[in-house]
Amino acid sequence: MAPEKTFYLETFGCQMNAHDSEKVIGTLRQQGYRQVETEQEAGLILYNTCSIRDKAEQKVFHRLNDYKRLYKEGKRFAVLGCVAQQEGERIFDRAPYVSLVSGSASYRKLPEMLTRLEAGEGRITGLDDRQTEETFETEFTARQNPYRAYITIIEGCDKFCSYCVVPYTRGKERSRTSSSVLAEARRIADLGYTEIQLLGQNVNSYRDPEGKLSFAELLAAVGQVPGIRRVRFTTSHPRDFTLDIVDAIDAVPTLCDHVHLPVQSGSARILEAMAREYTPEWYLERIAWLKAARRRISLSTDIIVGFPGETPGDFIQTMDLLAEVQYDCVFAFKYSARPNTPSLTMIDSVPEEEKAQRLQVLLERQREIQRSNYSRHIGEIIEVMVEGSNPNRGQVAGRSSQNKPVNFEWQQPIAPAPGSYLRVKITAAFPNSLVGEVV
């Protein structure tokens, strides 16, 4: 009798990676593998990696080093995702006990690679270049989230921002057909999910290979699938953000009233150095569209501080933009150089201490903005989708359509199920969450 095939998979990074892992898990199960909870139990150990931040990449190699002793027990290792594509066969030199290296653009070849692994091959690679037109579609997705289902509608990136490694690790932009996206949305609804999140490195850069639907039209169509109550999408790029997206959010109630639109900097000079190909004025025009919508749309963004050449004056312009937009959430980071990116040739002129100080100033100001923004919800009744509970505190945690965390007390012995919807009156607000009581 053949030994049981078991695997352990750990995911690093973004929602795209998390959803890729759901598809990888489904593929492994289809190939006869059983998922286990720890590396010690597994015959095959996989790490789905991220390289967008330096520390995330280091974490992967630290993890590999920590568990290399398991190789002597006959376990096999695989490195997947962005670090795999970035480092390629150099991973075998740095971690010779790794047997399989595959970038995300090659996941469709996983069944073939697993067969080769089982046959005893020790250095298997799946490293498609930017020429591939294929996307990773599978009906065997093992959805790990009990209340939110993800659908990748576009893979890769053609933007080539000077600081970003994604175009080199994820390949060129490749959109799925609108027919396949809508078919998956209907399958998800049939499984009982009521929230869908559409994913892409630049989700609004979607171009339907069938020529049927624009991104805004696809959003509306997914929102009209019977059984779906919420549709989210991330991440948008300002260069491809069009007015019809705002019109769709206004017209289709199931489209969540939240948009994540990364700005990165408020300085035109720095945006040009970043190769973002828009100006602050261009960006703020799109913000004006969103603020003019009939629905109140919550806004979030990404910001990089300390980019090469950023002066105190450039940073002040970013702070001015922060004050003008009044975001509900900001993900801010210190600049760090990434392999293969054009910014490597720039002089990293801002000392780490100055980067850290600027980041702290920005986050403190944003905290004040969020405290004010969130307090405006006090007294409102908000529909909350339950995400979990804390029995020890008697609290239930959920999220509003605007993507804001909402906590409320629950005295009954059985907590509401994740994915259920409740109306909550907001009684208090903090900079990062709302508190209320069930109506």
- Say which residues have a Cβ less than 8 Å from residue 401's Cβ, sequence separation at least 6: 230, 256, 257, 258, 382, 383
Q: Looking at per-residue confidence, does 415 or 273 come out higher?
A: 273
Same domain, 31 and 99: yes
* Residue (of 159, 190, 374) closest to 271 by Cα position: 159
Residues 374-389, mean pLDDT to the nearest whole number: 97
Averaged confidence pLDDT in the chain: 93
Structure tokens at 65: 């080093």
Residues 52-58, mean pLDDT to the nearest whole number: 71
Same domain, 205 and 309: no
Residues 369-373, mean pLDDT to the nearest whole number: 98
**What 3-state DSSP class applies to 133?**
coil
For residue 422, what is the domain's CATH number? 2.40.50.140
DSSP lists the bridge partners of residue 219 as none
CA 147 to chain centre: 17
Same domain, 185 and 118: no
% of residues, the chain, pLDDT over 70: 98
For residue 21, what is the domain's CATH number? 3.40.50.12160
Q: What are phi and psi of 334, to 5 degrees?
A: -80, 140
Same domain, 427 and 355: no
Same domain, 12 and 54: yes
- Residue 56 confidence (pLDDT): 67
**What 3-state DSSP class applies to 300?**
strand
Is the separation of the CB atoms in 155 and 104 below 8 Å?
Answer: yes
Same domain, 251 and 262: no
Q: What is the DSSP letter of 358?
A: H
Q: Tokens 């991330």, residue?
A: 234
Strands 195-199, 148-152: pairing is parallel
pLDDT band at 438 (very low <50, low <70, confident <90, very high): very high
Same domain, 117 and 156: no
Cα separation, 25 vs 8, whole angstroms = 9
- Sheet with 329-334: list strands edge to edge: 258-260, 298-305, 329-334
- Residue 133 confidence (pLDDT): 76
Residue 2 in this model has a pLDDT that exceeds 70? no
Same domain, 366 and 308: yes
Question: CA angle, 421 as apex, 192 and 425 as ends, to 5°?
Answer: 170
* Residue (of 176, 13, 180) closest to 85 by Cα position: 13
Cα separation, 76 vs 70, whole angstroms = 8
Structure tokens at 340: 């293969």
Cα separation, 130 vs 153, whole angstroms = 18
- Residue 385 confidence (pLDDT): 98
Structure tokens at 92: 């075998």
